[in-house]
Amino acid sequence: QVQLVESGGGLVQAGGSLRLSCAASGHTICISAMGWYRQAPGKERGLVATLRAGRDPTYAGSVRGRFTISRDNAKNAVYLQMNSLKPEDTAVYYCYVKADSAEYWGQGTRVTVSS
């Protein structure tokens, strides 16, 4: 089992920045991927960015060049630096971890970007 705790969401004006954090605990030795997904009102949850061991980060086209995903292995944490935020980035952001064959999700943190 892996437990995830997210932080860093909030309200920001368009053009601003936020940094999301996700700390993993539990059976973290088997983590093979960490990332972020988001769900906007009335839409399905979709990929924002992921990090897999030994591979380059993967980004959704809509955030590439504005968002940066990073990981601190010593802290078992994954971060999402979000710059040049747009109103369409408004969503609940979920931390994601894959460990062995199981997937784990954080509770979600809300990001609201005002125009």
Report d(CA 89, CA 62) in Å as an integer.
9
Report d(CA 12, CA 33) in Å as an integer.
29
| Residue 21: how many other CB atoms lie within 10 Å | 17
Angle, CA of 97, 81 and 72, to the nearest 5°: 50
pLDDT cut 90: percent of the chain above it:
87
Report d(CA 45, CA 36) in Å as an integer.
10
More confident residue, 54 or 98: 98
Q: pLDDT (tens digit, 9 = 90+) per residue, 39-90?
A: 999 999 999 999 998 899 999 999 999 999 999 989 999 999 999 999 999 9
Q: How confident is the model at residue 96 (pLDDT cuts 50, 70, 90)?
A: very high
Mean pLDDT of the chain: 95
CA Rg value for the chain: 13
Contact 105, 4 (CB under 8 A): yes
Helix (H, G, I), strand (E, B) or coil at 89: helix
Answer whether residue 33 shows pLDDT above 90.
yes
